[in-house]
Structure 1
């Protein structure tokens, strides 16, 4: 490998032979802007050493925005459609507008840190959680550039994204949950059974709306969670569970089985009444004509019933947290709760409901106290 220095105006440039292209033509790289000949000579020696050791990287003349668009095209086939939409929203709406004109090779930690600060300013400021998501995307994209030998290091590793505050979940007591179910009984059965399932099983809204009768085993009192309902471009689609743990069997209580039987009987009458106009998709929760229910329709029914109940306002998803919290407070092992919710690891369950841990530990400590000292007294 060879190289030389050359004076251009008032500064010195370094010319380095970095190899050959696919046609056998020598590739030369210019590095300008050195104030003195001595600086240029030192830089030349450094580059030759990098080339000979194999640590030299050659970044293409490409803007970061162009690189991100190409990366997104390649990433699309590896992501679920809804996840890709989230990526696109951040990349096209926030990352590229703020970093797109910076050359990939010249991207610095400060560029990225400034980008995060700007994301949190103005009328459309992003939350800390969204900025952390943007940080994860940028790190993924730059990791590939490092693996391809385009960058020597991932500059995003030197950036500190904002800390995400632990979200405090609002939950109901067992008495409040029962009060709501009693109050909401006047709601259409198709909605009420959805509220009931969320409280009694901890299933997500999308999982409940995707549940089919063939997934319900009345004899063994089990419901199989096989997917989640998504609406994409105005069309319903039952998506595969995100992880194998999300595809699970959820044990049903006797009360839940009885409620499902009553709901199915009402639905059967509805189907017979509509005759040929009924679209039978085997859904547990469906529109009057049997078609998929839109989440917005279900949400409207939820907030209508919630307002009527007079109970503290919570999100529908908080019924899932209510279910998990009540189970933990009853002394159910976190591993069972984790499996019931479809968490990928028990760590997620414990992190999510860590606010319950002190109370649970006190109860366990007292139980141990009773067992040990009562035995000693005997």
Structure 2
């Protein structure tokens, strides 16, 4: 998916959706991102409230968090900033700056369904079947757990209020993982 989306306008959004909710991504401002230190602050989300797009506090207290960014995220955001500067220059007189990392083509808050429109083509080209954009958060949790990251750290990265949510909703064991676990159990019983 990351290779396929490299030239897509939403590539950096797809990179970051491995840990952030859609509303968190669309509410993210450049002032919340420090590319030099490689961190990102989740302090607001973009939600539809009463038919209007509004910036609101994150879903839960634990959703407000600081996320250290791996190099792949810093690189994607750096390139994204460069591309948005060009996009902004092309429509300068009509640009309505809100300081958003992922604005509309005019600088205003983006309609939440817009990333989904290009996601279908990216998903198909990457052979991901019917996976939803939000499912990438689940993928992030599963990958972190597979890498041996303790569940409480994964919960903090993802911003879940309860570790049970992290473990039951997002941690999907593959057939190979189950096979390895039961093989280890079988070996220990012999």
Q: TM-score, normalised by structure 2?
A: 0.86
Gaps of 5+ in 2: none
Give yes or no for the alignment of 1:198 onto 2:17.
yes
Checking the alignment, whether the CA contact within 8 Å between 1:329 and 1:360 is kept in structure 2 is no
Distance 1:184 1:347 in 2: 32
| Superposition deviation, residue 231 in structure 1 | 2.0
Checking the alignment, whether the CA contact within 8 Å between 2:138 and 2:171 is kept in structure 1 is no
Distance 1:350 1:250 in 2: 20
Structure (1 or 2) with the greater helix fraction: 1
Checking the alignment, whether the CA contact within 8 Å between 1:228 and 1:240 is kept in structure 2 is yes
Matches within 5 A, 1:170-185: 180-185=1-6
Q: 1:312 to 1:264 in 2, by over 3 A?
A: same
Distance 1:284 1:255 in 2: 16
Q: 1:283 to 1:360 in 2, by over 3 A?
A: farther
Distance 2:125 2:58 in 1: 34
Task: State the Cα deviation string for residues 262-281 of structure 1 (Å, max 9, x = none).
Answer: 11011112223322310111
| Superposition deviation, residue 351 in structure 1 | 2.4
Corresponding residue for 1:339?
156
Q: Which has the higher contact order (CA 8 A, sep 6+)?
A: 2
Structure 1 runs (4+) deviating above 4 angstroms are: 357-361
Give yes or no for the alignment of 1:213 onto 2:16.
no
Structure of greater Rg: 1
| Superposition deviation, residue 197 in structure 1 | 0.9
Task: Indicate which of 111, 115, 128 corresponds to 1:298.
Answer: 115
| Superposition deviation, residue 251 in structure 1 | 1.2
Checking the alignment, whether the CA contact within 8 Å between 2:119 and 2:133 is kept in structure 1 is yes
Q: 1:251 to 1:269 in 2, by over 3 A?
A: same
| Superposition deviation, residue 353 in structure 1 | 4.2
Q: 1:227 to 1:359 in 2, by over 3 A?
A: farther
Distance 2:13 2:32 in 1: 15
Task: State the Cα deviation string for residues 142-165 of structure 1 (Å, max 9, x = none).
Answer: xxxxxxxxxxxxxxxxxxxxxxxx
Distance 1:340 1:360 in 2: 28
Give yes or no for the alignment of 1:223 onto 2:40.
yes
Q: 1:210 to 1:356 in 2, by over 3 A?
A: same
Number of aligned positions between the proteins: 183
Give yes or no for the alignment of 1:266 onto 2:83.
yes
Task: Indicate which of 75, 94, 99 corresponds to 1:282.
Answer: 99
Q: TM-score, normalised by structure 1?
A: 0.45
| Superposition deviation, residue 233 in structure 1 | 4.1
Q: SS state of the match for residue 356, structure 1?
A: coil
Give yes or no for the alignment of 1:186 onto 2:3.
no
Corresponding residue for 2:52?
235
